[in-house]
Chain A
Amino acid sequence: MLLQVVCLFIPLIAAIFMPFLFKKIRNIHTGWFVLFVPLFLAIYYATFVPSISKGETAVVQFDWIPSLGISFVSYIDGLSLLFSLLISGIGALVVLYSIFYLNRKKEQLHNFYIYLLIFMSAMLGVVQSDNMITLYLFWELTSISSFLLIGYWYNRDKSRFGALKSMMITVAGGMMMLGGFVLLSLMGGTFSIRSIIEQAPLFATNDTFVIALVLILLGAFTKSAQFPFYIWLPDAMEAPTPVSAYLHSATMVKAGIYLVARFTPVFALSEVWIWLVAGIGLLTLFWGSFFAVKQTDLKGILAFSTVSQLGLIMSLLGVGAIAYHVNDAADTVFKYASFAAIFHLINHATFKGSLFMIAGIVDHETGTRDIRKLGGLMSIMPVSFTVALIGSFSMAGLPPFNGFLSKEMFLTAMLSVTEFDLFNFSTWAPLFPIIAWVASVFTFVYSFYFVFKTFTGKLQENELPTKPHEAPIGMLISPVILASLVVTIFFIPNLVTDTFVKPAVMAIQPFLYSSPEDVHIHVSAWHGFSPELWMTLGIIVVGLLLFVTLSKWQKYYNTLPEQFTLNRLYDFTVNELLGSWMTRFSGLYMTGSIRNYLGYMFTAIPIIVIATLFIKNAFVVSFEGASPIHLYQIILIFVLVIGTITTVYARSRITSIIALGAVGYTVSLFFVIFNAPDLALTQLVIETISVALFLLAFYHLPKFQKVEERTRFKFGRVFISVGVGVMVTLVALSAHSQKLVTSIAEYYKETVYSLAGGGNIVNVILVDYRGFDTLFEIAVLAIAGIAIYGMIKLRMSRKEKNHESK
């Protein structure tokens, strides 16, 4: 059954054909061809449902880099199957919606569908990969395709800004996650998540365990838009609405949820995990719901609402991890948390997908998404209104919609936390249900705000760019299907939970349950006068009260100073810290002046060399083996020093050239007294030619400028050059004083005549023993000659030069 792995790549393969279909078949909307891909996948994954819901799993492996243990493993259990069905099912609905949303003639459809198909492949890969490396691969592919989709209308500034922001944040998180994966694989000796989970209880004592935990959570939090990384999601609303509906409500943002759920068996034993996941989840839940009411853009409200709902699911997963710490967890109340998380995930995908599509329809048919300009659309767009009402009520947690069921279970789970007394939970646990309740009140308010400010009230016809009318039937199909699911799930919740939720819960808590039937949870809409019911009633009463008085208190959001928002922090980091501060910092040392760069080098080299010399105790001076000093040598040294000083201090060019010549001739005299006749000859000739060359250049180069250096730089120059001189002297002394091996010269001396047939040892070395050196030294001379010729002869014509300077 290799097909299971191949299915991951079917959207990618289909993407290859999209440009041809778009260019060749102009009469049919390209989306119709795309539609087959998710439809096929949805049907294919539906065939897994009977076996998976019994608790079985399906694994198919395809080796990619076997020597490194990297392979594409499609591992389907309850969790993967649920996500795969969401991806392919909602994918099909979104493609259908996009066919009517995107104009065939005006839009670059092939680009859109290629990105979307890449995303689909990547997302399926994320949820089915058992290998952590390929999981990361697909993870980054979702970031990239999401970047492309957000920036789909690339000629808009805001699209590009939003795309870049989401890319920066999610890829940064992805890198962290990779680090966590590598640490995990080092602990477990494998990249396979299944075998990591099997070994998980052994890891808890490992030093790097908590680091891996935090790194992987960073990946999940950035992707799932948790606090404080949620800031990319509202800006990603610049994407076309089908993209927002698909990526930013139903699939990609749930990749982080998937990751947390998948790794719960590994990390749930850690206190840090429970606190981080539950705490950050609750904070995100509250923050998102609180600021959703502030938004004036329809998609902005939905973006903040998505953030908030993702926080809800995340906090449930955190509380669900408590089940690992209590005895008889299968029978206690904590089991509700993971169950509620998965159940709400399904519900959220249905109602949020439909709400985004409605926001898109409103935008499409009225020309604006600004809630201040909208109102009174109820009679004009009755179908959209109905769908929006269903979606919003479900989001607010009202019966008879599926959001009610999962919201009740959410409250149950949050109340259950108060019974847990490990890890300081007894102190802080009462906060959990309180925050959850307050956040639910705000959720109620923004749900009503969304639907009633758009569809009821007074129609402001002159404010709207186009005359509003109901959407075409094709555009309504997908939201209507999703809305009917919202209602259906309310009436047959146990069918859904038995089929999808229980196998998924088993994947999150494999140590607790051996088959899905062990999860004894029966969902019912009416469960007596429990505390949850009173809490829900409270939410409705307080929520309604707040909604009615909305105009009175909504303005207080703006008193929160703009400077302290997280977007400011992001802008500051990207523009100021990374942008101008870093540029200014590199500007400090990258001055463009070669003298500064030479200064850095000649400062660094002596410091490193001299420090090493003394740290390693390598500095030795020994007079042993030194040859005697003669008077004429001293005289020559005197001449050399005088010449050098003259060169350095000469005020005119000619003096310094002649002094350099004097130094060169002195060096050749040194060669004479040190028994090097060939060197002396060469040095004499070369020095003569060099001086001649210098004199030639002398006529063409300008006079030395009498610019006085600033004293500080002059001091630096002296300091640096003294440092280099000291370094050379110290190294030379130490090297001379401790000769470790004798010279190999004896061999040359003995064999120069017998083997090479020559008497001049230096010459024989140059052309016989080490002839290759000479060959390439000739090449150097030839190249220098050609280069000089080229420099003098080859000139750009004036026309080319002008062109160049532009």
Chain B
Amino acid sequence: MEIVMAFVCGFLFMSAIYLILSRSLLRIIIGTGLLSHGAHLLILTMGGFGGENPPVLADGVTEYVDPLPQALILTAIVISFGVTAFFLVLAYRSYHELKTDDMTLMKGSEEID
């Protein structure tokens, strides 16, 4: 299963980068969303899917799945959420101020070094 998931993660990354290279600001943010999904799944995959049970102590169970990647992903989810929310508002504000969401039009002016 891990082998298959490696391909799935690669696919997610590929789609994310494709979106990030686009012109529309909203597409870029969607791309970062896909990128974080890909990264989270990658961490989980690399931890391995072995272990029959969730990492919650229960009677008579000895085989738990690795809890450490899950803790890392939980932290990562929250952080990526914070960043995504910030970016969205930033996109909203910049559209408000600049009247465009086209990345090709958002260039620094030539005069400013």
Contacts and interface: CB of A to CB of B under 8 A. Distances in A.
A457 interface: no
Contacts of B85: 690, 693, 784, 788
Given A626-B3, A765-B68, A702 B19 contact: no
A735 B46 CA distance: 8
7 contacts: A598-B20, A653-B26, A717-B18, A725-B17, A732-B45, A736-B45, A784-B83
Interface of B: 1-27, 29-30, 33-34, 37-38, 40-42, 44-58, 64-68, 70-71, 73-75, 77-79, 81-86, 88-93, 95-96, 100-104, 106-108
Given A732-B46, A762-B74, A770-B71, A644 B34 contact: yes
B70 A678 contact: yes
A286 B8 CA distance: 77
Given A598-B21, A663-B37, A766 B71 contact: yes
B77 A683 contact: yes
A724 interface: yes
Contacts of B84: 690, 693
A511 B55 CA distance: 85
Nearest to B80: A686
A743 interface: yes
B27 A732 contact: no
A62 interface: no
A700 B92 contact: yes
A744 B66 CA distance: 9
A492 interface: no
A55 B22 CA distance: 80
A2 to B, nearest CB: 49
A768 to B, nearest CB: 11
Given A686-B78, A777-B75, A743 B66 contact: yes
Given A592-B107, A647-B15, A675-B55, A788 B86 contact: yes
Interface residues of A, number: 95
A675 B65 contact: yes
B42 A752 contact: no
A628 B88 contact: no
A529 interface: no
Contact of B2 (A594, A630, A736): A736
A593 interface: yes
A202 interface: no
Contacts of A630: 1
A598 B18 CA distance: 11
Contacts of B42: 728, 732
Interface of A: 592-595, 598-599, 602, 621, 623, 625-630, 633, 637, 640-641, 644-645, 647-648, 653, 656-657, 660, 663-664, 667, 670-671, 674-679, 682-683, 686, 689-690, 693-694, 696-697, 700-702, 704-705, 707, 709, 717-718, 720-722, 724-729, 732-733, 735-736, 743-745, 748-749, 752-753, 759-762, 765-766, 770, 773-774, 777, 780-781, 783-785, 787-788, 791-792
A628 B4 CA distance: 10
A733 B1 CA distance: 11
B88 A621 contact: no
A609 to B, nearest CB: 12
A595 B8 contact: no
A720 B21 contact: yes
Which 9 pairs between the two chains have the least Cβ-Cβ distance?
A725-B14, A729-B10, A784-B82, A732-B6, A721-B18, A721-B17, A761-B67, A759-B57, A761-B55
- Taking each of B15, B27, B70, B92, which has the highest tally of chain A beta carbons within 10 Å of its own beta carbon? B70
Contact of B33 (A602, A621, A660): A660
Contacts of B21: 595, 598-599, 602, 717, 720-721
A745 B53 CA distance: 14
A725 B13 contact: yes
Given A648-B19, A705-B24, A728-B9, A787 B86 contact: yes
Contacts of B44: 670-671, 674, 676, 679
B14 A724 contact: yes
A743 B4 contact: no
Given A679-B74, A704-B27, A780-B79, A753 B57 contact: yes
Nearest to A760: B56
Contacts of A770: 71
Given A728-B42, A736-B2, A780-B78, A761 B57 contact: yes
A682 B76 CA distance: 11
Contact of B1 (A628, A664, A748): A628
B11 A791 contact: no
A791 B93 contact: yes
Contact of B67 (A633, A647, A686, A749): A749
A752 B5 CA distance: 30
Contacts of A598: 20-21
A697 B27 contact: no
A72 to B, nearest CB: 40
B38 to A, nearest CB: 7
Given A717-B18, A729-B6, 11 more contacts: A621-B3, A625-B50, A671-B44, A675-B53, A676-B70, A701-B92, A721-B17, A728-B38, A743-B68, A780-B78, A791-B89
A743 B67 CA distance: 10
Nearest to B109: A592
Given A660-B30, A707-B23, A736-B2, A761 B92 contact: no
B71 A640 contact: no
A759 B11 CA distance: 36
Contact of B34 (A663, A787, A792): A663
Contacts of B96: 700
B90 A593 contact: no
A667 B16 CA distance: 15
B101 A702 contact: yes
Nearest to A787: B86
B54 to A, nearest CB: 4
B26 A626 contact: no
Contact of B8 (A641, A718, A727): A641
A757 to B, nearest CB: 11
A752 B34 contact: no
B13 A777 contact: no
A376 to B, nearest CB: 54
A713 B77 CA distance: 32
Nearest to B14: A725
Contacts of A628: 1
B68 A745 contact: yes
A204 to B, nearest CB: 50
- Taking each of B5, B45, B79, B96, which has the highest tally of chain A beta carbons within 10 Å of its own beta carbon? B5
A648 B30 CA distance: 9
A705 B40 CA distance: 31
Nearest to B21: A717
A682 B3 contact: no
B91 A701 contact: yes
Contacts of A690: 33, 81, 84-85
A701 B26 contact: yes
A686 B52 CA distance: 26
A745 B66 contact: yes
B54 A689 contact: no
Contacts of A594: 103, 106
Contact of A593 (B4, B16, B57, B107): B107
A736 B6 CA distance: 9
Contacts of A762: 55, 67, 70-71, 74
B14 to A, nearest CB: 3
Contact of B74 (A678, A724, A726): A678
A674 B65 contact: yes
Contacts of A627: 1-2, 48-50
A674 B23 CA distance: 36
Contact of B88 (A599, A697, A744, A749): A697
B79 to A, nearest CB: 5
B103 A595 contact: yes
A722 B14 contact: yes
A599 B23 CA distance: 13
A718 B18 CA distance: 6
Nearest to B66: A745
